[in-house]
Amino acid sequence: MRRKLLEVSKLHVAFKTLYGTVQAVRGVDLSIYSHEFIGIVGESGCGKSVMTKAILRLLDENNCYISADTIRFGNQNLLDLTEKEMQKVRGGKIGIIFQDPLTSLNPTMRIGDQIKEGLTLHKKGLSSKEVHRRVIDLLNLVKIPDPERAYLSFPHELSGGMRQRVMIAIAIAPSPDLIIADEPTTALDVTVQAQILELLADIQEQTGTSIILITHDLSVVATRCSRIYVMYAGQIVEKVPQKNLFSAPAHPYTRALIDSIPHAGIDKTAHLNSIPGKPPNLLKPPQGCAFKKRCGKAMRICSGGSPPQFDLNDESRVACWLYDARRGEDINE
């Protein structure tokens, strides 16, 4: 039986700004099981990265409001932990791969020393020789050629793809139960993107670590993830198994994202589909469905109440009034 590793219920994140309060994450529910690889997709600014940073309590709590019914990791509610206790969870039990390795890595420290930090902090009792050997093993695991040379290199001496591999090595060094990969293929060319994704899948298979992959690219999650959460305007609008993502997308937003992807063999003169309009201003979130002004299937009820999550089957849920069982009786098109 699968063990639930992380469960997030009714997560809200709001930022205080000069212009008002931005409601960046609005009531998100999320779960991941042990030995699972899931994806979170959505266009830029929908709240994906903010959500995961809130889970790890990496946001400045003096500048934002964070609330949730629960953020449970294993048998711990992360909301109840002190900052000192959270420092043992971050890196040790939950690793994170940030989207820009050039700014995330310390430019003044050698690669080997940066990987060693997590090991010495979370794996006590290792000798210096054991730490060095473990770092070399990690560099081999993430397929960096000539690991001894890379050990002594500075970040600027490596390519973008190699720096991203270093970030992966840092994340997996303390053997965490969960890794959050936040846009790990951003700014990389297509070939290197494929290599990084294959590397993550290999590590997940070899170590059993669960992975949450955050991306705005549907093609990235199409083959790697078992389940996908689709996010829009700070909310989860659809949860769908990977096998149904392209064959049976339920939410109009998910369908629109898929329709806007160019594919092999497309007529070069054909019009590429796009989603009309723009995302709502989360300083003043719209009443009702956040996607209604961009949706070709909007109904009168969409301007009223925000749609709840409707269960389509044991694996799929969607936040759309189209799937209300009462639709044929009292929902006016």
Residue 118 included in any domain = yes
Q: Is residue 128 part of a domain?
A: yes
The token duo for 18 is: 């000069």
Average pLDDT, stretch 206-211? 91
pLDDT of residue 328: 44
Mean pLDDT over the full length of the chain? 89
User: Is residue 266 predicted with pLDDT exceeding 90?
Assistant: no
Query: What is the per-residue pLDDT for 153?
Result: 96
- Asked whether residue 28 is domain-assigned, the answer is no
pLDDT at res. 103: 86
* Residue 211 identity: I
pLDDT digits (tens, 9 = 90+) for 168-198: 999 999 999 999 999 888 767 778 888 888 8
| Element of type H or E holding 52 | helix 48-55
Written as one string, the DSSP assignment of 130-178 is HHHHHHHHHHHHTT-SSHHHHHT--GGGS-HHHHHHHHHHHHHTT--SE
For residue 333, name the pLDDT band (cuts at 50, 70, 90). Answer: very low
In the chain, beta strands by DSSP E:
4-17, 20-33, 37-41, 64-67, 70-73, 76-77, 94-97, 178-182, 210-215, 227-232, 235-241, 310-311, 317-318
Decide if 287 is inside a domain: no
Whether 262 shows a pLDDT value over 80: the answer reads no
What pLDDT is attached to residue 330? 44
Q: How far is CA 85 from CA 88, 141, 211, in A?
A: 5, 29, 22
Contact 71, 77 (CB under 8 A): yes
With contact defined as beta carbons under 8 Å apart, do 275 and 266 qualify?
Answer: no
| E strand or H helix that includes residue 194 | helix 190-207
- The answer to whether residue 213 is domain-embedded is no
Determine, yes or no, domain membership for 21.
no
Q: Which domain holds residue 148?
A: 103-175
Taking residues 44-71, what's their average pLDDT? 92
The whole-number pLDDT of residue 327 equals 55
Residue 60 lies in a domain: no
The model's pLDDT over 274-300, given as tens digits with 9 standing for 90+, comes to 888 999 999 999 999 999 999 989 999
Cα–Cα distance between 221 and 228 in angstroms, integer?
A: 7
> Tens of pLDDT along 125-167?
888 999 999 999 999 999 899 999 999 999 999 998 899 999 9
Please check whether residue 131 lies inside any domain of the structure.
yes
Scanning 208-259, the segments in alpha helix (DSSP H) are: 218-221, 242-245, 252-259
Residue (of 99, 98, 90, 140) closest to 117 by Cα position: 90
Mean pLDDT over 43-61 rounds to 91
When divided into structural domains, the chain yields a total of: 1
pLDDT (average), residues 313-330? 79
Q: Give pLDDT, residue 189.
A: 78
Chain centroid to CA 78: how far?
18
pLDDT at 331: 45
Average pLDDT over residues 222-249: 92
pLDDT exceeds cutoff 90 at 24: yes
224 has a pLDDT exceeding 70? yes
Q: What percent of the chain lies above the pLDDT cut of 70?
A: 94
pLDDT, mean of residues 101-124: 90
pLDDT range class, residue 332, cuts 50, 70, 90: very low
pLDDT band at 252 (very low <50, low <70, confident <90, very high): very high
Q: Distance between CA 271 and CA 258 in Å, rounded?
A: 15
Beta pairing partners, 215 = 41
Q: What is the mean pLDDT of residues 1-28?
A: 92
pLDDT band at 254 (very low <50, low <70, confident <90, very high): very high
Query: Does residue 205 carry a pLDDT above 90?
Result: no
Residue 1: the pLDDT is: 60
Tell me what percent of the residues of the chain surpass a pLDDT of 90.
61
Q: What is the pLDDT of residue 329?
A: 42
| Residues in contact with 201: Cβ distance below 8 Å, sequence separation at least 6, in sequence order | 37, 224
Whether 309 shows a pLDDT value over 70: the answer reads: yes
Instruction: Specify burial of residue 112 (Cβ count, 10 A radius: 0-12, 13-18, 19+).
Output: buried
Would you state the pLDDT for residue 265? 64
